[in-house]
Amino acid sequence: MNSAVSDASMSSYAILGCGSVGHAVAEELFAGEKDVLILDRDEGRVDALRDQDLDARTADIREQATVEAVADRDVILILSSDVDANRVAVENIREHAEDKFIIARASDPVTADELREGGADVVINPSVVIADSALRTLEQGELEYRAAKLAEVVDGGETLAILAHRSPGPDSIASAVALTAIAEARDVEADILYAGEIGHQENRAFVNLLGIELTPMADADLADYDTVALVDYAKASEPVVEGDVDVFIDHFEPEVDYEATFQDVRPNVSSTSTILTKYVQEFDITLPDEVATALLYGIRAETLDFKRDTTPADLTAAAYLYPFADHDTLEQVESPSMSPETLDVLAEAIRNREVKGSHLVSNAGFIRDRDALSQAAQHLLNLEGITTSAVFAIADDTIYLAARSKDIRMNIGKILQDAFDDVGEVGGHSTDASAAIPLGIFTGLEISGDNRDTLMELTEEAVRAKLFEAMGVESGNGSNGS
């Protein structure tokens, strides 16, 4: 049985059973100057087809003579409304011609299975095709409506502040970049604002290599902007702005009700970059390679390179972006060099790891480069059997912690909030989160040469215990994996 037929070999067709579906297919093929033979047992229908200059003949598709009539055809479309007749025709043709590509019409899943078992390469159900087409038309109409509403809000002012979530990751940054491109295409000046830090080395490489302009919130005043937008901000547990929000776009349901003038929340896709890609397409703006590269990276990062919760919408968005993206830059972003200190932090985190079930917590000691914690947490997440990792260390007078999770049952941002929100500053979402806790909260001590060991001992005991407790496991009797 053929699994596919090349375009070059699709030179001649036969349509068996020419009801409304077959007639429509025949007209399309004929308009494309294809060689089409039509077989139908209704003489009146055959005469009408001949009047249209179509090659139509009277025949019962269940009879063996049909096999001989289509012997010189490459593709056989069996489209009668009589599904039993279709099944017989499929079996007869397949028995005598292994090399034919057969498309057959079914009426339900049961008859579809029977047609496949009989030898059909492709089975179609007109009612399903019509439903799919109706849904696509509905989705397109809804997108057009939403795009018009978004344009109305963006066009309502001359300046737009786009807030990426705290210590933003690729999906949030890329979404903000895309909304900036949409705004600027409409002659609206837009700035991307963020709180926290651009922490992970990959994220810094992402921003630097693509020349993305980001403004710290401390250096901006929202009162200076006519319009305010939040992108990829659903996981913030507290309101991030005072007053009205004009635009809110995310792929998670928000934990805070912002009552935005325009809101687009789609839990049925896996990245906010996917949503913004659809708007870029709908607005038909010229897509700069840095915007396409950012969006493609945002989708890939949020779906773990299409290995986590990927939807058809994510894949079609990525397919649209792929030809426009700068893949050399993308490779540089995804493979940043590791500094010697990062390597030292990773080695220390590996040595000090404690594993409880699939959860890993580790202490990286005293560090200078806080960003190394993010890379250490990501690398430890790749260890066999690990679904959640958290690495903490002391820098200056603060305990810094980076956590990662690929466990769909766990929200690592919520875990850190439960453990440390009352004593420190927590940011992030379900798969990627961080915390900063004043050292004195746990120890009451300041760093000095005389008490470093005591500091680390007190810190390690307190942080490990609170983390494992928030994860739902007890510390103290785990394994270091050695």
- DSSP states along 393-420: EEETTEEEEEEEE--TT--HHHHHHHHH
User: What DSSP element (H or E) covers 461?
Assistant: helix 452-471
Token pair belonging to 214: 């980001």
Question: Alpha-carbon distance 178 to 279, whole Å?
Answer: 9
Amino acid letter, residue 110: V
* H helical segments located in 5-125: 20-31, 43-51, 65-69, 83-96, 109-118
Residue with tokens 């703006």: 285
User: What DSSP element (H or E) covers 130?
Assistant: helix 126-154
Question: Alpha-carbon distance 374 to 123, whole Å?
Answer: 49
Asked if 179 and 231 count as a contact pair (C-beta separation under 8 A), the reply is yes
Stated length of the chain: 482
Q: Where are the domains of the chain?
A: 11-124, 142-333, 340-471
Asked if 272 and 251 count as a contact pair (C-beta separation under 8 A), the reply is yes
Asked if 153 and 246 count as a contact pair (C-beta separation under 8 A), the reply is yes
Cα angle 433, 438, 441; round to 5:
115
Distances (CA, A) of 124 to 81, 104, 317, 435: 12, 6, 26, 53
User: What DSSP element (H or E) covers 438?
Assistant: strand 432-438
Half-sphere exposure of 29 (CA within 13 A, CB side): 23
Asked if 469 and 419 count as a contact pair (C-beta separation under 8 A), the reply is yes
Token pair belonging to 160: 């737009």
The sign of the torsion formed by the CA atoms of 418, 423, 428, 431 equals negative
What's the confidence (pLDDT) of residue 233? 80
Q: Express the helix, strand and coil content of the chain in percent, nearest 5 each.
A: 45, 20, 35
DSSP type of residue 479 = B
pLDDT digit string (tens) for the chain, length 482 residues: 444 444 444 578 999 988 778 888 888 888 888 889 999 999 998 999 999 888 999 999 999 899 999 999 989 999 998 999 999 999 999 988 888 899 999 988 898 999 999 999 999 888 877 777 777 777 778 888 999 999 999 999 999 999 998 888 899 999 999 999 999 999 999 999 998 877 677 788 888 888 999 999 889 888 899 999 999 887 666 667 777 789 999 998 887 778 889 999 999 899 999 999 999 999 988 889 999 999 999 999 888 788 777 889 999 999 999 999 999 988 888 766 667 878 888 899 999 899 998 999 999 888 887 778 888 888 898 888 899 999 999 888 888 998 998 887 888 888 888 888 888 888 777 777 888 888 776 555 555 555 667 777 878 888 888 888 888 876 554 555 44
Question: Alpha-carbon distance 423 to 267, whole Å?
Answer: 32
DSSP 315-350: HHHHHHHGGGS-HHHHHHHHSPPPPHHHHHHHHHHH
Residue with tokens 């709908």: 282
Token pair belonging to 471: 């994860």
What's the confidence (pLDDT) of residue 480? 55
Largest CA distance in the chain: 103
Token pair belonging to 323: 């030809």
The topology (CATH level 3) of 11-124 is Rossmann fold (3.40.50)
Strands 432-438 and 425-428: antiparallel
Enter the CATH code of domain 142-333: 3.90.1640.10
Distances (CA, A) of 141 to 88, 146, 264, 268, 319: 41, 9, 15, 18, 21
Token pair belonging to 114: 């029977």
Q: Tell me the β-bridge partners of 57.
A: 39
The four Cα atoms 32, 38, 40, 43 give a dihedral, to 10 degrees, of: 90
In CATH, 340-471 is 3.10.310.30: yes
Task: Name the burial class of residue 447, with classes exposed (0-12), middle (13-18) and buried (19+) by CB atoms within 10 angstroms of its CB.
Answer: middle
